[in-house]
Amino acid sequence: MLVIVEQTRLRLSKNTEAKRKSQLGQFLTPARTAQFMAALFTSKDNPDCRLLDAGAGIGSLSSAFLERCIGGDLRFTDVEITAFELDSLIHKELNDLLSSYRNRLSIDYEISGGDFIEHAVNRIQFGSDQGFTHAILNPPYKKISSDSHHRLLLRQADIETVNLYSAFVALALAMMSPGGQVVAIIPRSFCNGPYYRPFRDFVLERAAIRHMHLFDSRSKAFKDDDVLQENIILLLERSGLQGDVTVTTSTDDSFADLVTHTHPFNRIVFPDDTERFIHVPTTAVRNAIELSSAIRCSLDDIGIKVSTGPVVDFRLKEHLREMPEAGTVPLLYPAHFNGLNIEWPKSNIKKPNAIQRNAETEKWLYPNGCYCVVRRFSSKEEKRRIVASVVQPDTFADAEMLGLENHLNVYHENKHGLPEALARGLAIYLNTTGVDENFRRSSGHTQVNATDLKRMKYPSREALIKLGEWAMRSGEPTQNMIDEQLDNLLA
């Protein structure tokens, strides 16, 4: 049956316009992913199953679940399915699929094309009938505006979140019976950042995380739909007592290179983390950064700050100049940096090299000096998320001020430059493999925000200065040399 479902999915995916997929947040689940998700449910002594499939699509997930029931892995006297699918154009495929199981299992099902959020909030508020025992979800991915009808509805259920995917998971969890299990494939973006903090709180206060699966490739989980998003599969147990968490990884949805580790929960959510970031360790060994007593300082301890580059170029467009001229100061973009070094001006880029210094731009400029900068964005092909460089003031001759563009994060001392050894030491530390690996454990996107850098732990100011002094003696150190310095620091 799953072969037929997969053929239908591929046909619909090919024939559905990208615009419609985006409008609905609709990306149908591949068969192998559906099978993997259904296999995460554990058998419990419960004669009846009440399964929720919200964002059901053509029924790939429900089908995978029912196949496990037919195979005897999950045993129920009766299975009752509530399937929500907003797209009426695929209701026939969904109905045909679910009805085909009636001659093999004792099942009943209901397909709703209504608003899942509205239905769920009403059900939660009025405590309608029994809760669900199981939920299997590939929810839509779409932002929820702060003043939308959905946002107001969710608040009535004490849910504060910014995307449909997290809203669907929170609502499903709220409608589960104690011990009920939720399996969902969702973007990893909820694991960190302030916007998803209320959602993390909601989940962690109501459920135990039993299993997390991470796809190493951001492009393979929904490759037929050209989705470039790092996805994670979660198994949550409503009202469960939190224990160890199973973490699996695979490159793609073939699961051919599946790796499994079990971790104590204090490696998933650090006990002293007030933001409750959710980390996904991909090895059994603790990261050196995580373990080291030499890396425990905040930026406040070091006496420096990090901010997003203040120059937003489209707002100051009339003041930008392709090349430096009288009355301008240097304007720096990520393209001006290559490794630890800087190249300015640069003629072969599509960005301006200078900005006028005048009354309108002055407040966005920093004094010329030594700064450590980190690119905010990396491309999907790059191996590293954190890429740090150093602004070298002697590059700019007699320039008194600098423009630092918004796609850079800038380390500074009250909007002034740092001592050169400190700036270089910061860059060396941030470019270590250990720092990059540690960052990836809590971040599923390619963006590095100033907030992320503020939350990191650092060596002491003295240790960073020693790193910088080493860098100044070493010319252009290789990655191995940089990582060796971190090893020495941790020793």
Residue 418: what residue type? L
Nearest-angstrom CA–CA distance, 226 and 82: 29
Please list, residue by residue across 429-440, b when 16 or more beta carbons sit within 10 angstroms of its beta carbon and e when fewer do: bbbbebbbbbbb
Does 407 fall in a domain? yes
- 345 preceded by a cis bond (ω within 30 of 0): yes
pLDDT score at 445: 58
| Per-residue pLDDT at 223 | 46
* Same domain for 445 and 384: yes
Q: Which of 277, 276, 280, 180 shows the shortest CA–CA distance to 236?
A: 180
Write down which residue in 250, 285, 320 finishes a domain.
285
Note whether 14 and 136 are same-domain residues.
yes
Averaged over successive runs of 10 residues, the pLDDT of the chain (491 residues) comes to 57 52 60 93 84 92 93 90 89 90 90 92 80 94 91 94 95 95 93 90 96 75 50 95 94 89 90 86 68 82 95 94 94 90 87 95 96 83 80 90 96 96 95 84 71 88 94 88 84 62
Domain range spanning residue 101?
2-285
Looking at the structure, tell me whether residues 144 and 281 fall in a common domain: yes
Query: CA-CA distances (angstroms) from residue 59 to 36, 93, 120, 246?
Result: 15, 8, 20, 27
User: Can you tell me the distance from the alpha carbon of 457 to that of 281, in angstroms, rounded to the nearest whole number?
Assistant: 18
The answer on 339 and 265 residing in a single domain is: no
**CA 406 – CA 412 distance, rounded (Å):** 15
Is residue 315 situated within a structural domain?
yes
Residue 289: per-residue pLDDT: 67
3-state secondary structure of 338: strand
Residues 204 and 325 in one domain: no
Are 108 and 213 within one domain? yes
Does residue 79 fall inside a structural domain? yes
Any idea what the CATH number is for the domain that residue 130 is in?
A: 3.40.50.150
d(CA 489, CA 491): 6
- Contact present, 370 and 393 (Cβ < 8 Å): yes
Angle between helices 2-15 and 60-71 (to 10 degrees): 170
What whole-number distance in Å separates Cα of residue 468 and Cα of residue 10? 54
In a domain? residue 461: yes
| The total number of structural domains that make up the chain | 2
Q: In terms of domains, do 398 and 442 share one?
A: yes
Contact 330, 353 (CB under 8 A): yes
Six token digits for residue 373: 């900068």
* CATH of residue 400: 3.90.220.20
Amino acid at residue number 337: F
